[in-house]
Amino acid sequence: MKATSTKKYIISKGLDEFFTGVHKAYQFVIQYFKQAFVPPFHFSEIVNQCFEIGLRALSLITLTGFIIGIVFTKQSRPSLEDFGATSWLPSLIGIAIVKALGPLVTALICAGKVGSGIGAELGSMKVTEQIDAMEVSAINPFKYLVATRVTAAMITIPILSFYCIVVGLLGSYVNVRAEEATSFVSFFQKSFSTISFLDLSTSIVKAVVYGFTIGIVGSYKGFYASQGTRGVGKAANQAVVMAMFLIFMEEVIIVQISNWIRFY
C-alpha cells in the first residue's frame, strides 16, 4: 500500500509540474506579444541581435546548404535515370529545397547555434542576478532581453532560410553542370518553374514561425534558469532539444495546412 501511495504521489507531482510548466510558458508567450508592440522598441538592440544571430549561423548554413544541394542531387539522379527523366532533376531539387529543406535545415542549425546561445546567455545573466539588477535600474528586462531576441530571430531566420535555398541550389547546379553541362540560367528557370506563390509564402511562414520558436524557447529556458552554472548548461541544452522538437511538429502542421489550401 505504501509503495502504491508513493507511485501515485510521484505521478501526481509530475503532472503538477508539467501543467505548471505549460501555464508558465503560455504566460511567457503572451507577455511577449503584450510587450513587443509597445514602445520603447530598442531598435539598436534588435539590429545588434540580428547581426549576432546571422554571424553565429552563416558559415555553418553556407557549408551545410551547399553540401545538401550536391548530395541530394547525386542521390536523386540514379532514380530519375531509371525512368529517363533526368531533365526533371532541376525541378525536383527546386521543389525539395525551396519547400522543405531550406527552411527546415536553417531552423535546425539555428536551433543548435542560436537557441543554445540565447539560453546560455540569458541563463548566465539570471544566475548572476544581472536580470534582477536591471529591474532595480528601472529597465524592463523582459522587453530588453527577450522581446528583442525573439523579434530578431523572426527577422533573421527567414533571411538565412532564403540564403540557404540559394546556396543549396548553387550546390545542386555544380553537380548538374558537371554531369550535363546545363547553363546557369536554364537550371534556375527549371528549378523555379514548378514553384508557386503558395510554395514561397509557405516557406516564408515556416521560417518566421521557426524563428519565433527558437527565440522564445531559448529566452524562456534562459530567463528561468536556476542552480548556478549547472543551470546555465541545462538551459542551453533544453533550449536546443525543445526547439527542435517543436520545429518538427510545426513542419507537419504547416505542411498539412498548406496542402488543405492547395486542394481546397
Note the pLDDT tens digit of each residue in 125-153.
888 878 778 777 777 888 888 889 999 99
The Cα-based distances of 105 to 82, 99, 187, 247 in angstroms read 29, 11, 22, 10
222 pLDDT more than 80 = yes
Taking the model in full, what pTM does it have? 0.88
Q: Over pLDDT 70: what percentage of the chain? A: 92
221 pLDDT more than 80 = yes
What's the whole-number mean pLDDT along residues 240-257? 92
The pLDDT value given to residue 77:
83
The Cα-based distances of 3 to 9, 10, 14, 15, 16 in angstroms read 10, 11, 17, 18, 20
Q: Per the structure block, which three cell numbers stand in for 99?
A: 519547400
pLDDT in tens, 158-211: 999 999 999 999 999 988 888 877 788 888 888 888 888 888 899 999 999 999
d(CA 53, CA 50): 5
59 pLDDT more than 80 = yes
The Cα-based distances of 233 to 107, 116, 241 in angstroms read 21, 9, 13
d(CA 229, CA 172): 44
The pLDDT value given to residue 233:
83
User: What amino acid is encoded at 60 in this protein?
Assistant: L
d(CA 90, CA 36): 41
Say if residue 60 is exposed, middle or buried (CB neighbours under 10 Å; 0-12, 13-18, 19+).
Answer: middle
User: Domain ranges in the chain?
Assistant: 36-263
The pLDDT value given to residue 24:
83
d(CA 62, CA 12): 47
Does a cis peptide bond (omega within 30 degrees of 0) precede residue 158? no
Helix axes 148-180, 89-96, angle to 10 degrees: 170
d(CA 113, CA 60): 9
CA trace torsion 108, 55, 60, 181 (10° rounding)? 110
pLDDT in tens, 74-127: 888 887 777 777 778 888 888 888 888 889 999 999 998 888 888 888 888 888
Q: Which residue has the cell 527565440?
A: 215
